[in-house]
Amino acid sequence: MAERLDGYVAGGARFTKWRAALVVDPVKQTPTAECLTENARRMAAYAKLVAARGMVAICEPEILMDGDHSAADVEAALGKALDALFAELAAANVPLSSVILKTGMVLAGKESDEVEPPHEVAAATVRALKAQVPAGLGGVVFLSGGQGARLATAHLSAIAGHEPLPWPIAYSYARAIQGDALVAWAGKPEQVDAGRVAFLHRLKLLADADRGAYNPAQD
């Protein structure tokens, strides 16, 4: 990895990401402590190599939404994952200012009947982060993780409503930014402009949400 990172830096790269996908299953009692520790250890080793080269290390211990687990299950799993990650980062002497945490929000699984309003999602997410994420971290960015665009925007805005927080926050969405634009475009040359309009509209709403000022009536 060190040799590959040197090549990336020479090519102009300034950040990179390591993702671990963690499955919550209360019956199987996953993710296990061993799983969390091993993933955190490897992520910290990666972050140390990245920091030594003057790059930003994005660490992403993602709690997957697949399953029927509860929001409380996710909050517990996220807390344990973050505890393991920051313990290993400290043990490896990784400077936190060079690290960005990419994380999901505290949401019940996609197959669960549990539906939490945005203010509850925000409160649980902020509670989990404050309990485990040290001050001095470069920042926290949220993934949409299978949420629809509107929900992901509303949840981000509700979380931003808790600022100031010990670290900067932002978003690192994929489908929640691109989805509306892809539908509007539909792969048709004559609909490129419609795709662009949809894309810019979603970005405007997310910029508002990042300030805690999302207005659902505009969505």
42: CATH:
3.20.20.70
Number of domains in the chain: 1
Distance CA 69, CA 107 (A): 9
103-to-45, 47, 63, 204 alpha-carbon distances in Å: 19, 16, 8, 22
Q: How many CA atoms lie within 13 A of 102 on its CB side?
A: 22
Q: Which residues are catalytic?
A: 60, 102
| 208 domain residue, yes or no | no
The pLDDT value recorded for residue 98 is: 96
CA distance 160 to 145: 18
Host domain of residue 89? 2-174
Paired tokens of 207: 């910029």
Flag whether 196 is in a domain: no
Q: Please give the model's pTM, rounded to 2 decimal places.
A: 0.95
The owner of tokens 């539906």 is 115
d(CA 150, CA 112): 19
Model confidence at 155, in pLDDT bands (50, 70, 90)?
Answer: very high
**Structure confidence by residue, pLDDT tens digits, 97-109:** 999 999 999 999 9
